[in-house]
Structure 1
């Protein structure tokens, strides 16, 4: 969001220079007052634009849009005004409008690498993967250090099943952690060494990729595994770990380190070599026994997850309103909510439904694992619970959006990562109706078994 050069107007020169000085120093409040005073004297495209950048930085997005549109109306024909509009509209899920502005930015500035990347991101979310790939490659050609373009290109390769090249390119993501010790890439001997493995991203990622730790330990090393607190009790039963550390606590000495999500690259994983067991996690037997006493009904039990964390950037596509889901749940089952939290918008539907809500009784993932283990079937949108249920070897149905996360690949209803998973995919964006019709049929057939 660059500021433009001084306008050629002697009457407002001093005011402009003072505003621009404050702007460059990030004294936004002072700059805003001066731009607004300037605009009472005369409309000026550059002042509107710079005021728009301040509003955008403050996340006053409607005000920013208004300023940019006024700048364009005054013939400010600069790539960044269109690029910034594209950024805002993308956050509002106004994909095609955002794409149009990115295309205008590229037409005005053919070397605008970020515009190619962001346009590629839109095409990726629309599942137009070949277009997205071409845009990322153009962005990389313009700027070989464009991490975002490299990362998103890797995700397309992974979604298409090219795990070898995809995981290799995924290594270009920015390092999450910085250590004085070297990283392990898979090439260095681990015999007699101590390796720190740390969970890098979300809970679902940790559950999916912890399967590699036993393979690491077989290379002759001592494994330290750093993991987030809610997952720690569940992870303690993993084979191959010599020492667990809660994330944020002091680390013991180690020789090398590796992110959990770099292990597939280190082991040169392909579709054929995915370490895929029907079950590689188990629930605490005592917790299973305790929950058995709580969940002692005679009907088949179905665990449900219909929404994930609202902070996830793709949550608007993966989550379902409970009211929408309820119509697809036939009678004859005991439905158990596997979500610890339920959104305010779902409270009324939950209260009026037959779904049993366990809430704060699910203290951490070891409790959720115990409840999952007692289910006859788990139905989940793309959240960590889907990974947990499948890692426990439970029959799991995952409801996927039109442009799913890379790990579910494309156009298949099974997963090479989890033998017990069945995937139900949206055929068009935001259309859950057909997915839920298929789910209803699965449940009816399941009841007959």
Structure 2
């Protein structure tokens, strides 16, 4: 067993995770809240103060996928606060132009963050603050038109960036997923037999349209997984033997995304075995269906 909070989150025991987090919060030094000496992703923001009927600032200090994952809780917060401002990563703002509710969305300028309001929270603290599970907060509907892709297109993302290089799969290992129409969701060129060997454009709306038009997305643990999940597309997530806290270790299903199937390494570093199992399952699937409107 590892960290108790991580174990609770992995098994979907949210009340246990909240209890652990609340106990930790009670012992924090208030002087260290939103400490400007720390990188943004290492800061804590909410100090437990009430937010009902107050002006609330939601700060997005973590990754794009984290913001997508926890955006579902924003309408619940808006229903209880007087006003909600969300300081969001500029790359994501185009996706949320029609976000439900009267939320003020502003770009997060790391050099000039907004001043505190009545209550500040980091977006990943919303589940704790609201005591809300994913089942309590349906995913928002993003106004994304599916790209017109060939029927059965499988879209692929094998790279997870520098945050955790162990999440990435060597590009060549994704070749078994290219037996039908395949699309790269990676920036930059690829030698895999895909519809777009030049790679995916660095445009979040265009990327979302490609994801929305895909019959299936196969991805490592990165923003693409959350984008596919929030858009309700079938998505296979390939994770390490010891995955991130948000993914289960003994189940292929996650409460965060109903359309997601989680594939685990059977042993640390065994991407070949995982890809082999997933590719065999892909070969057994009936003809994949395109997205509606795709």
Same fold (TM over 0.5): yes
Which whole-Å CA distance do the structure 2 matches of 1:252 and 1:166 have between them? 30
1:175–1:160 CA distance, 2 compared to 1 (3 A): farther
Show the 5 A alignment for 1:54-203. Answer: 129=1, 132-133=2-3, 153-170=4-21, 172=24, 175-176=33-34, 183=46, 185=48, 188-191=50-53, 193-203=54-64
Partner Cα separation in structure 1 for residue 137 and residue 73 of structure 2? 10
Flag the structure with higher helix content.
Answer: 1
Equivalent residues of 1:386, 1:396 under 8 A apart: yes
Q: Is the 8 A contact 1:159 1:406 kept in 2?
A: yes
Match of 1:309 among 161, 164, 169: 161
Are the aligned partners of 1:283 and 1:369 in contact in 2 as well (CA < 8 Å)? no
Question: Number of aligned pairs?
Answer: 271
Superposed displacement of residue 400, structure 1: 1.1
Question: Relative to 1, partners in 2 of residues 1:357 and 1:267: Cα closer, same or farther, differing over 3 Å?
Answer: farther
What's the counterpart of residue 340 of structure 1?
Answer: 187
Matching of residue 215 in structure 1 with residue 55 in structure 2: no
Distance 1:240 1:177, change over 3 A: farther
Report how far residue 258 of structure 1 moved: 0.9
Give the alignment's Cα RMSD to 1 decimal.
2.6
Length-normalised TM-score, structure 2 = 0.82
- Which consecutive residues of structure 1, in runs of 5 or more, have no partner in the other structure? 1-128, 134-152, 342-346
Between Structure 1 and Structure 2, the one with more strand by share is 2
Q: Normalized against structure 1, the TM-score is what?
A: 0.55
TM-fit CA distance, 1:242: 2.5
- The CA deviation at 1:275 is 3.1
Hey, what does 1:90 align to over in structure 2? none
After superposition, the Cα gap between the structure-2 partners of 1:168 and 1:260, relative to the gap in structure 1 and judged at 3 Å, is: farther
Q: Does 1:284 align with 2:136?
A: no
Quick check: 1:324 aligned with 2:184? no
Hey, what's the Cα distance between the residues in 2 that align with 1:241 and 1:158? 30
> Which structure has the higher relative contact order (CA within 8 Å, separation 6+)?
2
- 1:256 pairs with 2:103: no
Residues 404, 253 of structure 1: alpha-carbon distance in 2 compared, 3 angstrom cutoff: closer
1:196 touches 1:257 (CA, 8 Å); kept in 2? yes
Instruction: Sort the Cα spacing of 1:177 and 1:263 in 2 relative to 1 into closer, same or farther, 3 A.
Output: farther
Which position in structure 2 is the counterpart of 1:267? 130
Matched, 1:444 2:283: yes
Which position in structure 2 is the counterpart of 1:396? 235
The answer to whether the 8 A contact 1:204-1:388 is kept is: yes
The aligned counterpart of 1:69 is none
Larger Rg: 1
Kept after mapping to 2: 8 A contact 1:195/1:254: yes
Aligned mates of 1:304, 1:252 — CA distance in 2: 40
- In structure 2, the gaps of 5 or more residues are 26-31, 37-44, 289-294
Would you say the 8 A contact 2:100–2:140 is kept in 1? no
Contact 2:239 2:264 in 1 (8 A): yes
Question: Distance in 1 between the 2:57 and 2:15 partners?
Answer: 23
**CA offsets per residue over residues 146-179 of structure 1, 9 Å max, x none?**
xxxxxxx42233224332232443464864457x
Q: Select which of 372, 375, 382 maps to 2:221.
A: 382
Q: Secondary structure at the match of 2:74?
A: helix
Match of 2:205 in 1: 366
State how far apart, in whole Å, the 1-side matches of 2:117 and 2:243 are. 37
Compute the displacement of 1:322 (Å). Answer: 1.0
- Cα distance, 1:419–1:276 mapped onto 2, change above 3 Å: farther
